[in-house]
Structure 1
């Protein structure tokens, strides 16, 4: 039987060589040669103001909560349909979360529902760009500016993805909010096993970000010769990844365009093969808004019911194909359901019940994709 897993990490062939080089140069803790090369790559390619590699996207989000001084009782607005780290980072600081429903046609949160949830306690809006497709940042920034709120981009899935503004300019996701968090988990387009990155676009937060990153010390400033000694000057934690992880990541970054080209081919092949079924109303295909680009982070279908989604996943499993569902709505999670304000969020619940992700990784072949799509067709022809 043809067996196709959900994910398979792609290796460029240079990872081990660069990791050996990091070890050979005897700097294997954080902020070494490869950390600096990765920082330089992102600042030059995407014009991010300041970047700091972290051990995970979760770490980058937790740094964001520290940087904007989240205090107990502060309120933070974010989508319900997102990964738990998006909320956990702020819950850890004592914040209350106001969850926003998704669009009917896309898992991203609907900005038209944000303003009604703003109170005098609201401090930030956290935007998660689902599947690397931009949210409507013009609307979100307008609301944030009106109420003097921070904007944080959960850009975990957004490597090499852009927001298209009214002048038709492509603005990199992660460069728009005050702060942004990226992931390099092995399921992402560009990987380092575990790993993440904080982007600091608000220059007022830049110096403090580096201090929090370095366990609350001004160690980085000391090594640049900006202070004559370093000490404990603020709160912080150990957010730096090893330079060995950065070396792995840099090998991936060098092949970014090549990786993206193949992933876009996979995405477009899925879309072409499955569109005839979607046109029959059997399921929904991914929707890319006119103000967003597609970075081919994932390919998903939205089934018509939870029962149908469950049976499709089982059918594919029986054929050796591993498809998975994605997030569960955070507003109805065991941890938060008693803290939620009771608003119904039907679209978030729809995607929690009905969305299924198909296998997506660099090594998928034309025959693999045809096999997967044929089995999707077989399932829907028999219900």
Structure 2
């Protein structure tokens, strides 16, 4: 038996709702299930306007268009993130200015922000790594004083909060992912959250391929046409129906993931063989980590239990740990490679590729994620 890194959870209602979507006769998008999903987020978390997208990448690209990013504009974002965070703005001609992570967590170090701001800076993209909130109060204050937009890359942050406010509801815009590796998933999917009321009307137009079709469907105009740039960002009703089955079970899914995260934490920090994970499985983890110095995130970094990671003192120790797990049929994965060290950054932003971002590089070289999915239950027969 192999324990995968991730296994998408199915609630059992996905196919039922997909069939319902087909029976309703409108499966091209922006129908009944799209409305249900968008209303869910607006009502539960207080988001101003939600627009489902085919991916978080598309949501980020919508954000870049919506903010009217132009060639020469500068966008500040962490080096330790997925390429989509940067690609969306590079496609509009922006220069990416990379910021380092905190010493104790992969989130961006907000104390470094102001020294990176120039007259060309247009936006700050914050990435809530592992669902843990960036210091949004300070970031929003900096953005307001410098007249900058803030985009929350909340790909990993569904059902996470900052001082009682849902992540995704603080910045001017936010982008979520429903990729199969996320807590709530539909294979591929995403969502743009528009918290600035002044941006809502144009966001709908961009979402609908640059047309005012959404207003037409609401009966606000008698015909629709091409009024702005845009693309085919909205998903089909099949995707939305699948997502709705997941959202109905959000609390149950989150409760289970929290149990698993806490079981990991207790084991690595307190030696407690929590029964939420099998003793055989935990024993293999212990054996794989013997003699390899590492540490875990603090308990308050649990956030929404999107992931659990270990940080090793030396990159070669991480590789040795991963190999030991693999030999025992347990799959683990590294995470982001610092974007400022990438081949594209060296070609497009050579001044940025030469910068020293020690914390981002340390997480790239030494962080490893362990399996965490709903059905990671006690497995007495793990080899």
TM-score by length of 2: 0.92
Q: Provide the residue aligned with 1:379 in structure 2.
A: none
**Counterpart contact for 1:211–1:218, Cα < 8 Å:** yes
* 3-state SS in 2 of match to 1:52: strand
- Contact 1:105 1:287 (C-alpha < 8 Å) held by counterparts: no
Question: Could you tell me whether the CA contact under 8 Å between 1:214 and 1:240 is conserved in 2?
Answer: yes
Residue 283 (structure 1) shift = 1.1
Matched, 1:347 2:341: no
Task: Please state how far the C-alpha of 1:25 moved relative to its aligned partner.
Answer: 1.1
Moved over 3 A (4+): none
RMSD (Å) for aligned C-alpha atoms: 1.7
Which segments of 5 or more consecutive residues in structure 1 lack a partner in the other structure?
Answer: 165-169, 373-383
2:373 is matched with which residue: 356, 361, 368? 361
Is the CA contact 1:162–1:293 (under 8 Å) kept in the aligned structure 2? Answer: no
Is the 1:163–1:293 Cα contact (8 Å) retained in structure 2? no
Whole-angstrom distance in 2 between the partners of 1:138 and 1:233: 36
Structure 2 runs not aligned, ≥5 long: 272-288
Moved more, 20-29 or 205-214: 20-29
Corresponding residue of 1:238: 232
Displacement after TM superposition at 1:293 (Å): 6.4
**CA contact under 8 A between 2:123 and 2:149: conserved in structure 1?**
yes
**Following the alignment from structure 2 to structure 1, what is the Cα–Cα distance between the partners of residues 317 and 299?**
24
| Alignment partner of 1:284 is 2:278 | no
CA distance in 2, matches of 1:119, 1:6: 41
Matched ranges for 1:283-362 at <5 A: 283-287=294-298, 294-338=303-347, 339=349, 340-341=351-352, 342-362=354-374
- Return the offset for 1:238: 0.2
Aligned residue for 2:346, secondary structure, equals coil
CA pair 293-177 structure 1, distance change in 2 beyond 3 A: farther
Residues 213 and 357 (structure 1), Cα distance of their counterparts in 2 relative to 1, 3 Å cut: same
> What is the DSSP-based 3-state SS (H/G/I as helix, E as strand, rest coil) of the residue aligned with 1:284?
strand
In the TM superposition, what is the alpha-carbon distance from 1:367 to its structure 2 partner?
3.9
**Structure 2 residue 172 is matched with structure 1 residue 178:** yes
* Distance in 1 of aligned mates of 2:111 and 2:302: 21
Which residue pairs with 1:376 in the alignment? none
Match of 1:228 among 222, 232, 237: 222
1:284 to partner: Cα distance:
1.6
Q: CA deviation at 1:294?
A: 1.2
Contact 1:161-1:293 within 8 A present in 2 as well: no
CA distance in 2, matches of 1:162, 1:346: 28
Q: How does 1:105-184 map to 2 (within 5 A)?
A: 105-164=104-163, 170-184=164-178
Shift of the 230–194 alpha-carbon distance from structure 1 to 2, 3 Å rule, reads same
Give the TM-score, by structure 1 length. 0.92
Residue aligning to 1:205: 199
Q: Contact 2:261/2:302 (CA < 8 Å) preserved in 1?
A: no
Residue 50 (structure 1) shift: 0.1
